[in-house]
Structure 1
Amino acid sequence: MIAYIKKPFVLVIAIYCSGILMAQTSDDQFRMPLKTVLTEIEQRYGIKMQYGEEMVKDKWVNYARWRYRPDAETTLSNILSPLDMAVNKTGDKRYKLKYFEYHRLTPEEGKARLDYLASHYSNAQQWEQRRDSLKKCMWEALQLSPLPPAPTGKPIIVSKRSMDGYSIENIAFEVLPGLYIAGSLYRPLKVKSKIPIVLCPDGHWAQHRYRADCQLRCATLARMGCMAISYDLFAWGESLLQFKSEDHRRALAMTVQALGTIRILDYLLTLKEADSSRVAISGGSGGGSHTMLITALDNRIKLSVPVVMLSSYHSGGCPCESGMPIHLCGGGTANPEIAAMAAPRPQLVISDGKDWTDQVPQTEFPYLQKMYGYYGKTDQVENVHLPEEGHDFGVNKRQLLYLFIAKHFKLDIASQLDAAGKVDESKVTIEPETALLVFGPKGEHLPANAIKGFEQLKAMFIHQFQDCSSKPDKRCNKNEQLRRLPDN
């Protein structure tokens, strides 16, 4: 009888030890597999979790059951935070596992952070102290203080075409030795006096500057009397002749794109028809992040229109928007505070109801009004919210851009309006991608000195920066005075 009982008893003890005691003692930090923990949480709280097996494979939770709390969400936060993971609530008692997103908060957290930032200043003088400190830090965070020497070569310009009321030319700029950014420069056919510049960086939409809506926007601005330029993201478009697509998701992409815009503006302001008092920038999505950043950094920008990007709870999910630590400046900042650095220069924020700009009318815009109010210029900042629209740069958003630029740059666009009073886009010719290329369909015209690969870029950039820091010269410092100009 004793022998009969002994074997199953030993077996039970072995199972108990291996399944609970051996995995759950202080000696092993009460360690459990993440998948086991999530299954147990589902059963305990009556919830359902969604995740792929690769997300939980070989992941363990220390002190797992010690992290449990009375409610599921606090428990999940306690379990997942040490693993740099979190959840999105997708329905009633339904959650989806995700990796931690450093650039994203909840809307409630975003508002609380914005309220906290706003509590640190109550007048223009206090704000400007904060703004100047942020600006200095942001230049340093981008590793652009001081700016590296600019290459001495002229832009590469090919294939100028004349259309109905505007021209297009394919253009490429050497940002650093062997590093090129290609773009499309649109100009009015008839230029009688100085004309505005509109920089048009773009987001991560398919086809980028080759898209129909991008061509419509830039060509229409040219027909209105502006010179407008769209240009490639780093490791997008013709930049892929030099880099791999995955290089775009490296932090240095943010620096290259900022430097690229500065170099492009440097050149455009040398053109005899350019009006330095009327320089605008407008981009959507990631281009909206870039719009806010460049406006904050460069006082030559006189008007900005960030589209579908301003958010207190989302800083931009791509390293080209948040890969360098600009949002850690000043003890921590956020895109609305960066957008406020434009004050009192005219700014139009275009938001919608189907992305992270959904809270702008009640959260971010009142904050901007307060900041512009320090200068008695609340009329210089506007928000148009399109609650039924989504994350794009569609026709309604473009129309808002046209009218805002026309109003503040005093453009006579009566001849450009259709019967409905809208700016007419119908006379724009949409060209195929091949027509907009600088370096040819196969990259056969890429300059011989073009660098190839991210490691070359990194090494060359570090060399340029270190050389400029140790032996600054006029080329390094030519834009330092621009940074010190007053915002108005």
Structure 2
Amino acid sequence: MFHRLRIYCFITFVALCPFIVRADNAVCKDLNSPREFPVINTQKEWQDRANVIRQQILVSAGLWPMPEKTPLHPKLFGRIECDGYSVEKVYLETYPGFYLAGNLYRPLGKAGPFPGILNPHGHWENGRLTDIKEGSIPARCINFAKQGMIAFSYDMVGYNDTHFPESPVTKEFYKIHRNFGTNDPANLLWNISLMGLQTWNSIRALDFLESLPEVDKHRLACTGESGGGTQTFILGAIDDRLAAQAPVVMVSHIMQGGCGCENMPGLRVQFSNMEIAAAAVPRPQIMVACTGDWTKTMLTLEGPAIQHIYDLFKAPDKLRYVRFDFNHNYNQTSREAVYQWFDRWLIDETDTPVTELAYTKESDEDLRVFPDGKLPSNAVSQSQLIQYLVSSHQSALDALTPRDKTGWKRYQNVMTPAWARTLQLNWPGAALNTEIKTVSKTANYTFQTVQIHRETESKPLELLHFIPSKAGAKGRQTLVLLVSPPGKSPYLDEAGSPVGIAQSLLEKNYHVAVLNNSPAIETRDQLSIFFNTYNRTYLQNRVGDIVAACQSLHSINLRQLRIILYGTGHAGLWSLLAAPAANGVVSDLDQLDVNSNQTLIAPELFCPGLRSMDSFTGPLILATPNPLLLHNLSPKFQISKVQSTYDALSAGKSFRAERKQLSEQEILDWFSRIDSSK
């Protein structure tokens, strides 16, 4: 049952993302691409990287900024008392009108407070109620309770009792499970996904467990298998309340997760499950693997790599990794390894084997929360939940709009990580390896070819830099980085000489730079979660190129150059998104309607999470009070938040917006004005 579902996921992935070469000839990664753990030499290196991993998870999950934690209104009923434990039915409102269901197992005949253990499940046919030789959620929950812990098992979305009112009750759980958020690609513009919803459910499940009066808030833990293992290390990476964790048969350098509930936009472009699991350092963790699946190299690869991080933090005893000779499982042998680990760190600090006690699972009827499929009367539909997520996120962004300098700094603190992680930038990033490859001179300028080498890219980024002969040797000078969808062709003739605006700027003694690279637009389905979890979209690559060019030019010129981005058409929008890396922007926006979802899911403009980082407005607010000229604006392009931010910082004169398209001379006049105001 379990394995058939996994194979189905792999087939689905191959159908959705069949291509392995990007438009710029770089390799396209997928969920099975081998990963290497990065070289980390100090605690600070890992702390910085772990912080970025946490940011990436939350941004990818649509949880940045963190949503309001509305009342859970927990309902507990149907209590059954058994030998050494009790079990109850539970449902919670993780969002208003969205119900997460599960079962709560508590010790009987013991005095608290008790450790609390979350138990997400994998893709078993019967979800949290599965009780077979290969895995049993009731078995571990009953045994946790008998050992003196409180255990809460809860559903994946679509399984058992956690679904929407319109979900068909006759369909297999897995088919209901993988339906959330897939009916409209525009949802990805808000980073609304199945994995994001399940990540939030795990956070709220921990809130519930922590709220129980007999639970010790300092002894919370989580364990799950396969997809539940993914939920375990994801929660461990973002929520420091976990005192211990036990991801089972999921931490691997190869297969990263075959279901949509284990993939969300941008999550693994720069990271792997190994690193995500290591983000919990130095909290206690046991990783359980087996010989019959993708975790088979745990003893020689994944385990030692993560152990190195624990060693850096002088906590070698807080990691254990084991492998058993089985296929994909959370069987008794695997469970007993976890019992021993949790007993050591959560109960009595010993480290001796724990044998699983005999148990009898209650009937499904006694454990099901909504056996007839009927939810509470206020339960929301899938579309209503999505509408709530969008509106609440928009409200949070509106509340952040700066009204003074203090508000602007708050906006920067919250939205800079959203900007960097949404666009998959190496920001602020390590120093780039920049080489000046060729130098030549004419009577009017010096020409340099600059190559920028990035660790994350196989091919260097090439920049053509023109330095006017009359450029002064002293004082800060201005460089205009010209960006266009075709690349250099609008700015250079066939012989490579500047023409048009490039020539005019040089004649006025501005440095001019042009990106030499002009990759073709992506031909694959960038909207597929199995693509954008592992790869940058076309827009993310282009914005990344612009940001890297700015970083490189600042580096080699010791920030003596003021860099102004000049973009047209789609590249005008790319320039807006790169604005925080530059010192100003001129953008011809070609009357593009960026309020339209159809515009934003086009291949050259698609970026998951774009709307949740305040769309094109967000980077411009971050770049305030740098000079900004927008022209050829669509009437639907909203500038009020940008204008109000410039006004709040007493920088209104640095911002200009025109609905008409400005002439070259008008743009040159603008450059002259900002130079005179330096």
Same fold (TM over 0.5): yes
Q: Which has the higher contact order (CA 8 A, sep 6+)?
A: 1
Among 277, 300, 323, the residue aligned to 1:385: 323
SS at match of 1:269: helix
SS at match of 1:311: coil
TM-score under structure 2 length normalisation: 0.51
State the 1:410 CA deviation.
Answer: 2.8
SS at match of 1:287: helix
State the 1:323 CA deviation.
Answer: 2.7
Match of 1:461 in 2: 389
TM-score under structure 1 length normalisation: 0.70
Matches within 5 A, 1:332-481: 332-386=270-324, 388-411=325-348, 422-426=354-358, 428-439=359-370, 441-444=371-374, 446-452=375-381, 454-471=382-399
Q: Structure 1: which 5+ runs fail to align?
A: 1-51, 57-78, 85-99, 473-479, 481-488
Q: Deviations over 1:329-384 (max 9, x none)?
A: xxx00000011111111110100111000111111011011000111111110111
Give, in whole Å, the separation in 2 of the partners of 1:138 and 1:101: 18
Give, in whole Å, the separation in 2 of the partners of 1:468 and 1:157: 32
Matches within 5 A, 1:59-98: 81=20
Match of 2:550 in 1: none
Give, in whole Å, the separation in 1 of the partners of 2:310 and 2:94: 34
Matches within 5 A, 1:320-335: 320-328=261-269, 332-335=270-273
Q: Structure 2: which 5+ runs fail to align?
A: 1-10, 169-173, 182-192, 401-413, 415-678
State the 1:413 CA deviation.
Answer: 9.7
Within the alignment, does 1:225 sit opposite 2:148 as a pair? Answer: yes
AA in 1 matched with 2:105: Y
Contact 1:372 1:381 in 2 (8 A): yes
State the 1:247 CA deviation.
Answer: 5.1
Give, in whole Å, the separation in 2 of the partners of 1:287 and 1:348: 14
Q: 1:338 to 1:80 in 2, by over 3 A?
A: closer
Contact 2:53 2:279 in 1 (8 A): no
**Which of structure 1's runs of 4+ aligned residues deviate more than 4 A?**
none
Paired positions, count: 361
Contact 2:251 2:273 in 1 (8 A): yes
Match of 1:160 in 2: 79
Among 124, 127, 130, the residue aligned to 1:205: 124
Give, in whole Å, the separation in 2 of the partners of 1:283 and 1:376: 27
State the 1:412 CA deviation.
Answer: 8.7
Match of 1:259 in 2: 200
Within the alignment, does 1:310 sit opposite 2:243 as a pair? Answer: no
Contact 1:255 1:324 in 2 (8 A): no
Give, in whole Å, the separation in 2 of the partners of 1:240 and 1:375: 42
Among 171, 175, 187, the residue aligned to 2:90: 171
State the 1:462 CA deviation.
Answer: 1.3
Contact 2:344 2:350 in 1 (8 A): no
Q: Deviations over 1:396-422 (max 9, x none)?
A: 0011111111111134999xx9xxx75
Among 223, 226, 243, the residue aligned to 1:285: 226
Match of 1:300 in 2: 241
State the 1:456 CA deviation.
Answer: 2.5
- Which of the two has greater helix per residue? 1
AA in 1 matched with 2:79: K
Within the alignment, does 1:276 sit opposite 2:217 as a pair? Answer: yes
Matches within 5 A, 1:11-22: none
Give, in whole Å, the separation in 1 of the partners of 2:21 and 2:112: 61
Give, in whole Å, the separation in 1 of the partners of 2:296 and 2:212: 40
Match of 1:145 in 2: 64
Moved more, 360-369 or 138-147: 138-147
SS at match of 1:199: strand
Query: RMSD of the alignment, in Å?
Result: 2.6
Contact 1:284 1:309 in 2 (8 A): yes
Matches within 5 A, 1:184-195: 184-195=103-114
Match of 2:614 in 1: none
Match of 1:248 in 2: 177
SS at match of 2:327: coil
Give, in whole Å, the separation in 1 of the partners of 2:88 and 2:203: 20
State the 1:184 CA deviation.
Answer: 0.4
Give, in whole Å, the separation in 2 of the partners of 1:327 and 1:133: 12
State the 1:443 CA deviation.
Answer: 2.7
State the 1:327 CA deviation.
Answer: 1.5
